[in-house]
Structure 1
């Protein structure tokens, strides 16, 4: 049984919101968002955390960024990878796949774009359903950087937890004696400089 099921954050799932190719030049510090998401995807593999992803109007805005490796032959398998027109990720296809994990309320970690639109509406939908939502501040952004702190303040007031990728990873562990801790600590070390750059770019408002 993975560490995340024993200590720290229980019954976790990662939601990846609309990290698509055509947003590369539009979103503030998009490369930092992608890098932090890559780190969290590796952590989810170590901790056996389910992954859900969406695209927004894929035919127009492109596929999920290839470097995330979602559902590629040798990549990371998701529980659902859905195209949508709604702004919230919690569309019927995602909801159905999510409910197959069990009837209990879950802890959902959200990364992606845009902070004030799709991330916000996904968070509000999940909170209304009674789930606990963690928004990873160094893995969300918007076209206009000024939107980000306003969105995060609003969602914090609504009951979401705004935190950072490293804080969340150590909260998952809860105890350095767990067998998964060595791999997570190695992952943190691997991404140390990228994490610092991401925090400086996205968490300084």
Structure 2
């Protein structure tokens, strides 16, 4: 349930879903997805926004890519596709109601996690250029379904500028350089 039409850095948490070494090479446009996730994580870090990662069956699929792991204050190892079933909601600080989701696969773990967060009353945004699936059609249908379910669809650039609010933000110049990459 949306608390506001606007996204605020003070109430946001970035959740990076299953950006795992063995999975990413199979993702359609996986390198672009990963680049956007890293860019958004860098901006979140500049602004003091907490970042949580998840890993699906890491014994089979391996860990998250090191560049992703380094941003996460916590990484949840999960067996369910929906990360909430393995402790994600308990890991979200109580003052963070706006969940920003990025990662893979859009139509499986990311979608099931987002739908559960929406059911639990969180304000959910999906960074469309930071999510991926093995097949483009699966990603598109997942985004359609998430939008219908109440998730906000945004781009990484939209998110960065919305978190910053203005050019007077002390992190503006550093974040702007990242947004222009």
Q: Deviations over 1:136-184 (max 9, x none)?
A: 0101011111111111111111110011000111111122212122221
Cross-structure match for 2:155: 164
Map of 1:176-187 to 2, 5 A cutoff? 176-187=167-178
Map of 1:54-65 to 2, 5 A cutoff? 54-65=54-65
Distance 1:26 1:177, change over 3 A: same
Cross-structure match for 1:18: 18
- TM-score of the pair, normalised by structure 1: 0.80
* CA deviation after TM superposition for structure 1 residue 8, in Å: 4.8
Cross-structure match for 1:53: 53
Unaligned runs of 5+ residues in structure 1 are 1-6, 192-205
Q: Is the aligned partner of 1:148 residue 2:142?
A: no
Cross-structure match for 1:87: 81
Cross-structure match for 2:107: 116
Distance 1:130 1:188, change over 3 A: same
Distance 1:116 1:77, change over 3 A: closer
Do the aligned residues in 1 keep the contact of 2:132 with 2:139 (CA within 8 Å)? Answer: yes
Name the CA distance, whole Å, in 2 between partners of 1:44 and 1:185. Answer: 13
* CA deviation after TM superposition for structure 1 residue 95, in Å: 2.0
Q: Which has the larger radius of gyration?
A: 1
CA RMSD, Structure 1 to Structure 2 (Å): 1.6
Hey, which bits of structure 1, 4+ residues long, moved more than 6 A? Answer: none
* CA deviation after TM superposition for structure 1 residue 77, in Å: 4.3
Name the CA distance, whole Å, in 2 between partners of 1:31 and 1:110. Answer: 17
* Count of aligned pairs between the two proteins: 175
Name the CA distance, whole Å, in 1 between partners of 2:42 and 2:57. Answer: 27
* CA deviation after TM superposition for structure 1 residue 26, in Å: 1.4
Cross-structure match for 1:37: 37
Do the aligned residues in 1 keep the contact of 2:12 with 2:96 (CA within 8 Å)? Answer: no
Cross-structure match for 2:3: none
Name the CA distance, whole Å, in 2 between partners of 1:150 and 1:8. Answer: 24
